[in-house]
Amino acid sequence: MKLRPALLALAIVGSLGLAACKRDAAAPAATGVAPSPAGETADQFIARVNDEFRKSYAELTSAQWLSNTYINSDSEMLAAKANERWLTQLNGWIEQSKRFEGKQMSPETARAIKLLKLMTAMPAPKDPKKLEELTQIATRMEGMYGSGNYCKGEGDAKSCRDIGQLSEVLATSRDYDAQLDAWQGWHTISQPMRKDYIRFAELVNEGAKEMGFADAGEMWRSGYDMSPAELAAETDRLWDQVKPLYEQLHCYARGKLDAKYGKDKGEVAGGMLPAHLMGNLWQQDWGNLWDMMQPYPGAGSLDVNTALRAISQADLTSERAKPGTPGASAAQREVDAERAAALVTAKKMTERAQDFYTSLDMPKLPQSYWEKTQFIKPRDRDVVCHASAWDMNMAGDVRTKMCIVPNEEELTTIYHELGHIYYDLAYNKQPPLFQGGAHDGFHEAIGDTIVLAMTPKYLASVGLVGEQQQSNEALINAQMRMALAKVAFLPFGLMIDRWRWGVFDGSIKPDGYNKAWWELKAKYQGVAPVTPRGETYFDPGAKYHVPGNTPYTRYFLSHVLQFQFYKALCDASGYKGPLYECSFYGNKEAGKKYWAMLSKGASQPWQQTMKELTGGEKMDASAVLEYFAPLQTWLKEQNAGSSCGWNAAGTAAGATPATPQKAG
């Protein structure tokens, strides 16, 4: 996902909408804002802001990059101070912009002023002491997440595991107790964040109110060229479109878990899915359950992991054959070879993703990308491994930050992150205030649109799977593989911000943070923990985007938009046939149309940008349903006679339960 450089995810809600997998806003170095020149017009004001913004942009991104890739108290302090200066500067600009309210100005300037007011997801109080406190809290919480480990034992017997190791347990182990231990273990890292998050919410609400919003959640919902109420209603409408498909997938998954673990362990009361058995720490992607969920074993083999492991092993063999460091022990030479091979493999995976973009006639990534990117996890320090994409200077210094391992999930994440990077490169010619997604959901959808075009035929053409035989069984397998990532994510994409909107507007009180979190997960996802999760826990903080303060509705919207974009690019390429079989790899016409959209950035309302690409001005999930039509029909057949849906009552007080119904 896209995390812009931002340990606090200065998430540009409307303008620099760098996702949460894309890093967000960067910023000015001055401790205050320069006074306005006498007689300055609105157009002149925006020109000055753009100039000051561009000149100082690299300071904050550099501090944030450092705090993400060298986690320690020194880097945290530098980042907090840089963020403090940025927010002071931003507050100054926003205050100066008020003198133009009600005045005549060009449409471009009016839009720029609007985006300026929505530039951060972390509105800061004007009080300098509170602003300083806010930046320190934000930096500290991100540091807690990045350095989080689950440790057991004491002294010499003490052993610790990080998020990657714990995720691997959920991905590969089918030992019920081992998975539960790993899941619970990761959720211990967020308990110390609770007190900080309570104060954090108070401070950003104060900042939002000073800017004229009811609370920080309303501010977040204001960055979509529609009213906050309209945005909330729009997400409800889109969810209603796709919910029946999700419920069928949920029903199928529950049956498979029951078959594997027994009904007493495979589901939770009310027909919900156990949180620790879904192959993912947050239940947002079920792709790691492929061994259980695969409809037709072996049909149209889509085992990308085997190909990636073979590449990794070949790279390791090659590195072992090279002369090691003179005087190094055999053990040290082996460690060095393993590290060198891991880097080679990670770069090859990234080159594979780059190849798709360049096949569309987009430029190659600059050499500096390959020199400055964090491809693998360093051995000598704590880093934030959460994948993110960074535009460091608005002029081509782009990077990604990952801890790549050779598996399919990581490969598709690289394709996703490069979508952010190519968006950055395309709109770098825009004025700084327009350097962002049409809205933040656009930024998240760019790379995922490419992922949709990674069809079985494409994967075979680049040697990641064997030649594909056309059959209905192979089709259903391919659709299930995609649904476990895309469809399973949809309710998760909604519930995180539903929780934060409640926190910000006061309907969710601090003494009910965890209760409300699990109520929403029950309502939307139909998942539940198998052991009590009282208020001594702070389970929301175990998901990066909460301590990182990155708005999440963008991800839900992106999972709708990417199918709209995909359909539009398939049409542009001249493709005729079932949507799910389309790959526009190598099609220059599709690439030209995509690049034209990316180049617009945030310079115009997203509805206009959408129309230029798709022909329509509304977000619509019909392309999702068109794509998955064969799978939805198949799922209904498989679930016939089962009681689908779940009852969230009890686990989710106040939530609207999905009433179990016989599938037909």
Catalytic site positions = 386-387, 416-417, 420, 444, 545, 555
How many residues are listed for the chain in this entry?
664
Q: Mapped to the 3 state alphabet, what secondary structure does 32-52 carry? A: CCCCCCCCCCHHHHHHHHHHH
- CA-to-CA distance for 389 and 399, rounded, in angstroms? 6
User: For residues 456 and 470, is the Cβ–Cβ distance under 8 A?
Assistant: no
- The gap from C-alpha 464 to its chain's centroid, in whole angstroms, comes to 25
Q: How far apart are the C-alpha atoms of 271 and 642, rounded to whole Å? A: 11
Please give the structure tokens belonging to residue 502. 């409640």
DSSP summary character for residue 53: H
SS3 of 272-292: the string is EEEHHHCCCCCCCCCHHHHHH
* Short-list 379, 382, 407, CA closest to 485: 407
DSSP at 542: G
Whole-angstrom distance, CA of residue 345 vs CA of residue 309: 9
Distance between CA atoms of 413 and 458, rounded to whole angstroms? 17
**Vertex 614 angle, CA 610 and 618, to 5°:** 55
- DSSP per position, 204-265: HHHHHHHTT-SSHHHHHTTSSSS-HHHHHHHHHHHHHHHHHHHHHHHHHHHHHHHHHH-HHH
Structure-token pair, residue 628: 């998955």
Residue with tokens 């891991």: 342
CA distance 52 to 86: 11
The torsion of the CA quartet 625, 627, 629, 635, rounded to 10 degrees, works out to -90
Contact criterion met (CB below 8 Å) for 225 and 607: yes
Q: Which residue type does 553 have? A: T
Beta bridge partners of 3: 20, 22
Check residue 658 and report its DSSP letter.
P
**Strand 273-274 versus strand 527-528 pairing type:** parallel
The one-character DSSP state at 363 is P
Cα separation of 309 and 315, whole Å? 10
Q: Can you tell me the distance from the alpha carbon of 433 to that of 579, in angstroms, rounded to the nearest whole number? A: 36
Pairing type for strands 388-391 and 398-401 reads antiparallel
The strand ranges marked E within 53-172 are 150-152, 159-161
Six token digits for residue 571: 């049409």
Maximum Cα–Cα distance across the chain: 76
Residues 6+ apart with CB under 8 A from 351: none
What is the C-alpha to C-alpha distance for residues 465 and 301, in angstroms, rounded to an integer? Answer: 7
Of the chain, the end-to-end C-alpha distance in Å amounts to 36
**Three-class SS of residue 336?**
helix
**Token pair of 548, please?**
């990182």
Please report where in the chains the tokens 């068109």 appear, as a residue.
626
Q: How far, in Å, CA of 478 to CA of 86, rounded?
A: 46
